[in-house]
Structure 1
Amino acid sequence: AVNKLNTAKEEIKRLQSKVDKLLEDKDAMDRELEYTNQMLHKKEKVETGQLVGARQLLEGRLKEVEIEVKRKESEIESLKRRLEANQEEMDGIRKQLAKRVMVDVAEKTKLQEHVKEIEDSLSKVTKKWQTAGRRLGKAALAVKTMKK
């Protein structure tokens, strides 16, 4: 999910730079179109037909660039929505992990309590065996003494 998020962010940055480049190209074409229009209006020595053709060519290219800009902006919006969805998914995963950690901690605490109970019980049994061993040793000594 983190990789998806980072990939989506990088894709947004990449597309945004393409949009910026296309906008710069559009501005350059607008200036070129303006220059062409000025040349057409001033009726410079260039033939009118060439200027009209250039103008039509530039207007056509300008429309293509505007369409491309809209398409890229649409892609950016789509990627932003995907990014938001990925972030929501990550939040859900974080919540699940937090719940799982809490459950694991609770289970660990119960196991530690159970281990403590077993250790206490084992300690009591060990003391009883030690006491029984001492008594048995005393009894064996008494029997040995009685045999003499």
Structure 2
Amino acid sequence: MLKGFKDFLLRGNVIDLAVAVVIGTAFTAVVTAFTKSFLEPLLRLFSGGENAVPPGTIPLTDDVQLDYAAFLNSIVQFLITAAVIYFLVVYPMKWLQERRKRGKEEETPETDSELLTQIRDLLREQAERERERS
């Protein structure tokens, strides 16, 4: 039972998933700080007037406003996180798996006829050794 669990862990899928979750969580915090500190203020600066309504919003009523700058911020944050996860985790793992597959393909198993030929040759050598002894 433990051997099966060990094989499951070392198969690669679980390790890939764990790395992606940890890196994704850590990197999301960095991207959130970047977008909140830099991108959102820039969106708000270039998107609206100073006195009428808060920049980056569309007023619906006096109390309700649509905050499109925060929505654009979330989209940019998602795209940055997804790109980093893909290029730093997914793409290198695919490359390694393809490389491992190529290494395994080079070790082609012998065909039945090759094995039979080797057995025949070994039996001949054995028969010759027995003749030399007698």
TM range (shorter): 0.3 to 0.5
Select the structure with the greater relative contact order (CA < 8 A; seq sep ≥ 6). Answer: 1
Question: Greater strand share, 1 or 2?
Answer: 2
TM-score calculated relative to the size of structure 2: 0.41
Question: Greater helix share, 1 or 2?
Answer: 1
Computing the radius of gyration from Cα coordinates, the structure with the larger value is: 1
